[in-house]
Amino acid sequence: MKWPLILLFASVAFAGDGPRLFYSRTFPGSAPAYFDVTLESNGDTVYREAVDDELPSKFHLSEAETKEVFALADKLDHFKHPLESPLKVAFMGAKIFRYEQGTEKTEVKFNYSEDVNAQALMDWFERMAESAQQRDNLERAAKYDHLGVMHAMDLLASAYTRKRLVGVEQFLPILDRVAKNETYMHQARALAAELAEAIRKAQP
């Protein structure tokens, strides 16, 4: 009877030892001025707008999305080399890439990089942040500002059309709630149902 428990604890410990990626951007004057994203090898994602954020946004990337992100980190040799461009460019925010696995931890800081893999990886993390922001925005509107739900839905639909959203299944619960709640405007409910259907049809 003890073996299944031993195997369970071993599998949990093994999952915790998997590689982890971290990205942060600090840009005073922007909104938000700071955010960071942590991605686990199993797709679990955490978005924070403060280092001591006690209520971070959590969601999950698909296996394909997660593999693509980690493949870019592999191409960048897990951030063991500088990425900063020698070009003189305007300040675009202080950024950090970090790779962690067990006791191994490597990171690189930069403002702007010409490396196409670094640019692609940064875009992935920026889209993770945008996705969390869009979901939080809709959640707040649905809870506190029923008249603002339509505006939140317009922003979310636009982000989806521009392919700025990742881990899109995270939106289905809130979209379904909006679509079925008659206290919201009919247009908002219809758009929520339409977007939820598009997300479900796009799933493999």
Tens digit of each residue's pLDDT, the chain (204 residues): 444 444 444 444 444 568 999 999 999 999 999 999 999 999 999 999 999 999 999 999 999 999 999 999 999 999 999 999 999 999 999 999 999 999 999 999 999 999 999 999 999 999 999 999 999 999 999 999 999 999 999 999 999 999 999 999 999 999 999 999 999 999 999 999 999 999 999 987
Report the distance separating Cα 142 and Cα 97, nearest Å.
34
Contacts of 72 (CB under 8 A, 6+ apart): 117, 120, 121, 124
Cα(66)–Cα(78) distance, integer angstroms: 15
Record the tokens describing residue 124, joined without a space: 């992935």
195: its two tokens: 């977007």
Q: Where are the domains of the chain?
A: 18-202
Tell me whether strands 94-101 and 57-60 are parallel, antiparallel or unpaired: unpaired
Coil vs helix vs strand at 129: helix
Residue 16 is predicted with a pLDDT of 54
Q: What is the pTM of this model?
A: 0.90
